[in-house]
Structures are given as C-alpha cells and as structure tokens.
Amino acid sequence: MKSHINHEDPSLIKTKINEKTETINPLFQANTVNHNSLNEEMKWLQFLIEKRCKELFLEDETELNVGYEIPEPPKSDDKSPYSVTVNTHQLTVVDRIILALGIASAHYPSVLKTFVQIEESSNAFAIEAGGEYDKISRSFKPTFQTALFLLAGKDLSLWSQYGAQLINGSVLLKNDIIYNRSSAEFIHGKIELDTAYLNYFLSGQKPQLDHGSYFPGRLYKSDLTMEDIILEDNVQDQIKPIGHYIKALENGFFKTNEHSFKPGFIALFYGAPGTGKTMLAGILATTFGIDMYHVDLSQVVSKYIGETEKNLEVLFNRLQGKNCMLFFDEADALFGKRSDVKDAHDRYANQEVSYLLQRIEKFDGLTILASNFENNMDDAFKRRIDVSINVIRPTEITRKALWEHYLPKNITFESEDLLKHLTKEYTYTGANIRNIMKNVAMALHDRNETIITYSLISTYLMIENEKAFGKNQSRLSPFVQNP
C-alpha cells in the first residue's frame, strides 16, 4: 500500500520524520509517580508515532524489518492514577493508544509534533493519519482514524480488524473517559479526554461520578438532616421502606440465593410544588450516607429520535452498581402516560416510554421520582413502583410547626394571635413559609428590629400569595388581634 501523500520534496519530509526525539516535554518531567507514569506512556506513544510515520514514506516494503508490530506499552505496575485506570478497566493496546492520544492532545501537544511537521513540510499531508490540523495554532488534534493509523500502519487487513474493534466501542467510551462527539463517521471524530480524568492523572483527584459536561445528572449535596424537615406522621411511616432497602443493599441481601427479588427499588414522591419532595430525597441520601444524583431533564429529553434513550443509557450505565440514589424531578415528563397513536411522533413517544420502563427495571440502585400528580404517571410504570408517597400539603398543626421552625433566634411574633392567624388562614407549603420568613428576617435585620408585626409580614404574604396562587389570589385574610 502506497501512501496518499501530496508533496513537493519527499526527501525533506523523510528528514523530518527520521529525526530522533531524545527529550520529552519538560511539562511531564516532574519526579512524581503520577507524572513518571504519564512520561513513560508519552514516550511510548511518541515512538509509535515516529515509527508509523517513517513507514508511511517507505516506497519499498522490504525496508520494514519489524513489520507492523506495535511496540509493547509500558508496564502499569505502580500506584499512579494512570496505572490504576489501566488495570481497573483492563485496557487493551487499542484502548491505551486511544487514551494516550487523548492525553497528548489535551496536555502534551509536543508529542504530536511529527504530525504537525508532516502538515507543514512542503504542503504535504497524510490522509492515512487522519486528525485535524489548525494552521493558526499550529496544532494537531488526533481523531479515531489517527488511532487506527497507529494500530494498523499500512496493512489493509489490520485496518479492517482494528476498525471493527473501534466501531464496536472502547471501554473508554463506555465509561466516559474518552468522548467522540462527532455526528459524522465514527473514525473521523476527534479523541477528547474528559477533563476530570486529565485532572485525575495529573493530580490524583479522583473524578466524581457526575464528571463530564455531557453527563445528564449532578451530585446533589444537602447539609440538612431529618431534624430540619417537618413531615406528617403518615409520610414518616411511608419512607421507612426506603431506609430498609438501603440497609439491605449494603448488607448483601440481594446477593443471596434465598429469594428472587431484583436489587433495584423505585419510589414515587408526589404532591403539590413546594411540599418538600426534593428536600426529602436529599435528606434521605444524607441520612443513609449515599450520594444523590439529580437528573437534569434539559440534558436528557431530546427532540431528536433516539437521543433521549442514549442520554439515559449514559446515566444508568455510569451509576450502575454504585449504591447511590437517582432522583428525577418532574418525572412525568419522562414517565408520563402513553397516548393513543395518531402519527409517527406518538408511536415513537410510546416506544420511548416502553424503553424507560425496561431500562429502569434493570437499574440496581435506588430511583426516586417526583411528580405533582400521581395520576400523571404511566399505568404500567406505576405497577413497577415499590412505594408511592403522597407528600401532602402540611396540615394546620404542621404549618404551626413550620412557622416556628423558620423563626430566627431572637425574633418573635408580636402576639400569639398572629401566629394562630397565619397558621389557620394560609394553607402554605413549607417552601412558601420559608420564603416569607426569609424576607421578613432580612427586613427586620435592615431595620434593626426583632418583632414581626402584621403590617410587616402582610407585605410578604401578598407577594407569596401572588407567586403561589396568582394575581387574583393575593388578597389577605383580615387579622384582628384580640384585646
């Protein structure tokens, strides 16, 4: 196979390629186990790049005395983050070339300078090497074709063999260590290393499970405890199975042969906005010492056919087996009732819900869905829910406890009658009461006062009424203080 090269002076290019590079970029000469591990990997990659590029310009195949053999990669027997990643994911040579190219592209561009020299020497370019060359920055960004070139050289049979492996997917792509965001043919996509993993290789700071801008969930941290939330008695009883499940998961209950129960658990929190569904989920995660991942529906739901499923697959695959909580707010946007099929769009939407039902059943962790209305959920999905909890609007007794709970220290109501009036006349949620008391507390701080009067709080009652119930519902109940 002859190289598809456009060049004016082949000897010039050969000279460039044959130059031996004895030194490595000083950026990774630091005497640490992290950088030493990367140093060896970059040397290996640089040697392979020069070897393949040299072969590219040989017109006589007999000049190749070692064939297309790939040099053995460095041993990964130290405790560096890079070696840990290689061993944990059991990376093959194919994977290591892809990962090394990603690291070089992100942090050590000088390792790729041979490709730059080819591009700049007498307007030459090498089609086999793939990649994207930027004339302004004089930089080379490797693509998956670049990895294929380093793996196969000029051997067409190896191109087919390794090409099939790449298309079938690398463990690096499945674990979001490397990205290919190209909408074009797979091998033409740029190799992009996740920034959290680059930081891990350099500093040792392990990536969180929600790493990556394309991951549709974010770690939700709450400093609140069960003492910070006021629940109706029936809700406190209904959430107990969630605690039992988390303990069972930790104690290996689902790994025994004594039953046929699946390890996943699905809970539905439903109730009016502001009743504390998200807060309750966060407190449960904190109480039982597990991480909660809040799903961002804007990054999940797509108008393009098949994209929603792909986004959810990334989510479930990343969190599978991690003993964590997956929280879907406004879950009816995903798990809502299927409609009568009137057109192709309806048919696809129903297929999407069917996929979700099957996929969420396979998830081996805790899933909590939040919705304003239980009846919005698909009937088939409701049958799969392990526990359904109505996080109701607080009763009068609970509202009184909430007003007192959010009352700052050293602040008092002007009378007990005012507290009774607020409790009885306004059917607020905990979120409504929190908002009002926050505004009142700031106003008192500004005035350097400590007494909540009706004239003061009425302003914020009207604001909250209008926000919660609409402009026509902002009228206040008259307050008459007993003499």
What is the C-alpha separation between 371 and 330, in angstroms, rounded?
A: 5
Can you read off the two tokens belonging to residue 413? 């109501």
Q: 369 CB contacts (<8 Å, ≥6 apart)?
A: 266, 267, 268, 269, 327, 328, 331, 335, 377, 385
Task: Please give the CATH architecture assigned to the domain spanning 396-473.
Answer: Orthogonal Bundle (1.10)
Residues with Cβ within 8 Å of 14's Cβ and at least 6 positions away in sequence, in order, are 57
Tokens, residue 369: 């869905």
Predicted TM-score of the model (pTM): 0.71
- Token pair listed for 469: 């119930």
Tokens at 398, concatenated: 């609970």
Collapsing DSSP states into helix, strand and coil, what is residue 472?
helix
Q: Going by DSSP bridges, is the β-strand pair 325-328/292-295 parallel, antiparallel, or unpaired? A: parallel
Collapsed DSSP state (helix, strand, coil) of residue 172: helix
Distance CA 458, CA 422 (A): 10
Q: Hey, what's the torsion of the CAs at 226, 227, 230, 231, to 10 degrees?
A: 30
Query: What tokens does 178 get?
Result: 């490397």
Question: How far, CA to CA in Å, does 4 sit from each of 60, 67, 127, 146, 153?
Answer: 15, 20, 6, 15, 13
Q: Tokens for 397?
A: 């007794």
Q: Which residues of 237-254 are buried (b: 16+ CB within 10 A; e: fewer)?
A: ebbeebeebbeebeeeee
Q: Which two tokens stand for residue 465?
A: 């009424």
User: With contact defined as beta carbons under 8 Å apart, do 281 and 369 qualify?
Assistant: no
How does pLDDT run along the chain (483 residues), one tens digit per residue? Answer: 444 433 334 333 333 434 444 444 444 444 477 788 999 999 999 999 999 888 877 655 555 544 567 889 999 888 899 999 999 999 999 999 999 999 999 999 999 999 888 877 755 556 788 899 888 888 999 999 999 999 988 888 888 888 888 777 788 988 889 988 776 788 889 999 999 999 999 988 888 888 877 788 899 999 989 988 898 889 999 999 999 999 999 999 998 888 889 899 999 999 988 899 999 999 999 999 999 999 988 778 777 667 788 888 888 888 988 889 999 998 887 877 655 545 444 444 566 777 888 888 899 999 999 998 888 888 888 888 999 999 999 999 999 999 999 999 999 999 999 999 999 999 999 999 999 999 999 999 999 999 999 999 999 999 998 887 776 666 787 776 766
pLDDT at 176: 86
Tokens of 406: 């959010």
How far is Cα 29 from Cα 38, in angstroms, rounded to an integer?
A: 9
Helix (H, G, I), strand (E, B) or coil at 267: strand
The half-sphere exposure of 475 on its side-chain side, counting CA atoms within 13 A, is: 4
pLDDT at residue 23, as a whole number: 46
Q: Count of alpha carbons within 13 Å of 444, Cβ hemisphere only?
A: 24
Closest CA to 44 of 86, 16, 79, 9: 86
Q: 177 with 183: CB under 8 angstroms?
A: no
In the chain, where the domains are located? 10-203, 217-390, 396-473
* Three-class SS state of 73: coil
Measured between alpha carbons, how far is 394 from 381 in angstroms, rounded to an integer?
Answer: 28
Closest CA to 46 of 86, 101, 99: 101
Q: Please tell me the predicted confidence (pLDDT) of residue 61.
A: 56
Backbone angles phi, psi at 222, to 5 degrees: -125, 130
The correct CATH number of 217-390 out of 3.40.50.11740, 3.40.50.300, 3.40.50.1100, 3.30.300.10 is 3.40.50.300
Count of helices and strands (H, E) across the chain: 21, 12
